[in-house]
């Protein structure tokens, strides 16, 4: 099956042009990352001032084996940062989900889908363009926020704690897991949006995708889960398989005729 990069590129560019005009997407892209970046740096700056405190000041916390050599405060900060970085990953899930869930539906509602489907663009090219168009702003925003967090932590927190924020597990998570999560989110959004007529329904269904991240965040801050490289790589492997399967399912589910004739 031949894929025209020109056509995929045209769809991506069109999606971006539409985002640029959408205030709600621009807000979603900027507000959550700013809050997270400021929150993580602010908490570290405040708590790092207590670096000389005795362990009793922080009470009893679970210490994962990978952090056993650190002071309780450093352990707490690493766990806090991990939890915040997990939260940062929600941007990569939530934003593309929001965009993708309304993607096909809004094309149908504004009657742009029929002329679009009448072009030589294949279903594969159309969905690939829409997926890339929705993923890229979220991934770029997440990476930018992560970069700012690393810079901020290197300035305000204990050096050992800052180093944990760019340990291999987090670099792999940001570089590999983040795009794959965004892709999963987009594919679910496209899948659902080619089956339902109301973008709100699609967006509500998509909220379930955040559950694994909430579980991950809770485990991290509770001390019973540690973001290690094997864990991230396992996640990458699983997501890569799920994403590729879901992509073909999305292409298969996208029935031009059904979408055109039954959605009135």
Size of the site for other proteins (CB under 8 A): 30
CA dihedral 151, 154, 160, 163 (to 10 degrees): 20
Applying CB under 8 A, among 30, 114, 155, 244 the residue interacting with other proteins is 114
| Closer Cβ to other proteins, 120 or 230, answer by number | 120
| Closer Cβ to other proteins, 107 or 243, answer by number | 107
∠ CA 200-201-207, nearest 5°, is 90
| Closer Cβ to other proteins, 82 or 107, answer by number | 107
> From residue 4, how far is each of 14, 116, 255 by CA, in Å?
16, 15, 20
Distance of CA 30 to the CA centre of its chain: 14
Applying CB under 8 A, among 32, 113, 172, 213 the residue interacting with other proteins is 113
23 is a site residue for other proteins (CB under 8 A): no
Binding segment (CB under 8 A) for other proteins, from list 3-11, 31-39, 190-198, 208-216 = 3-11
109 is a site residue for other proteins (CB under 8 A): no
249 is a site residue for other proteins (CB under 8 A): no
Please check whether residue 176 is in contact with residue 236, taking contact to mean a CB–CB distance below 8 angstroms: yes
Applying CB under 8 A, among 52, 59, 69, 120 the residue interacting with other proteins is 120
Report phi then psi at 21, rounded to 5.
Answer: -90, -5
Other CB atoms within 10 Å distance of the CB of residue 7: 18
115 is a site residue for other proteins (CB under 8 A): yes
Applying CB under 8 A, among 70, 122, 150, 253 the residue interacting with other proteins is 122
6 is a site residue for other proteins (CB under 8 A): yes
How far apart are alpha carbons 192 and 180 in whole angstroms? 18
As measured in angstroms, the least distance from the Cβ of 250 to other proteins is: 20
Residue ranges in the chain assigned as alpha helix (H): 5-20, 23-47, 72-109, 113-117, 123-156, 159-165, 168-172, 178-193, 199-206, 211-222, 229-253, 256-262
Applying CB under 8 A, among 51, 61, 63, 121 the residue interacting with other proteins is 121
For binding to other proteins (CB under 8 A), which residues are involved? 4, 6-7, 9-11, 13-14, 17-18, 21-22, 110-122, 256-257, 260-262
């Amino acid at each position: 099956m031949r894929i025209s990069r020109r056509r995929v590129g045209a769809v991506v560019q069109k999606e971006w042009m539409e985002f640029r005009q959408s205030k709600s997407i621009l807000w979603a892209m900027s507000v959550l990352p700013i809050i997270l970046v400021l929150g993580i740096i602010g908490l570290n700056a405040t708590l790092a001032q207590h670096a000389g405190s005795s362990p009793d000041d922080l009470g009893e916390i679970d210490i994962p084996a990978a952090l056993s050599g650190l002071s309780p405060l450093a352990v707490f900060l690493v766990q806090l940062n991990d939890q915040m970085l997990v939260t940062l990953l929600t941007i990569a899930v939530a934003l593309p989900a929001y965009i993708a869930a309304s993607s096909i539906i809004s094309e149908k509602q504004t009657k742009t889908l029929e002329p679009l489907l009448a072009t030589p663009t294949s279903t594969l090219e159309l969905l690939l363009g829409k997926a890339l168009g929705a993923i890229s702003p979220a991934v770029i925003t997440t990476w930018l926020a992560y970069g700012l967090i690393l810079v901020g932590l290197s300035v305000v927190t204990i050096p050992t704690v800052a180093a944990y924020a760019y340990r291999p597990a987090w670099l792999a998570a940001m570089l590999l897991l983040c795009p794959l999560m965004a892709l999963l989110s987009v594919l679910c959004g496209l899948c659902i949006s080619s089956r339902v007529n109301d973008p709100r329904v699609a967006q509500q269904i998509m909220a379930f995708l955040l559950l694994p991240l909430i579980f991950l965040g809770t485990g991290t801050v509770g001390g019973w889960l540690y973001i290690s490289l094997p864990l991230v790589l396992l996640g990458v492997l699983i997501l890569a398989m799920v994403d590729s399967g879901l992509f073909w399912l999305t292409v298969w589910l996208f029935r031009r005729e059904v979408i055109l004739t039954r959605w009135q």
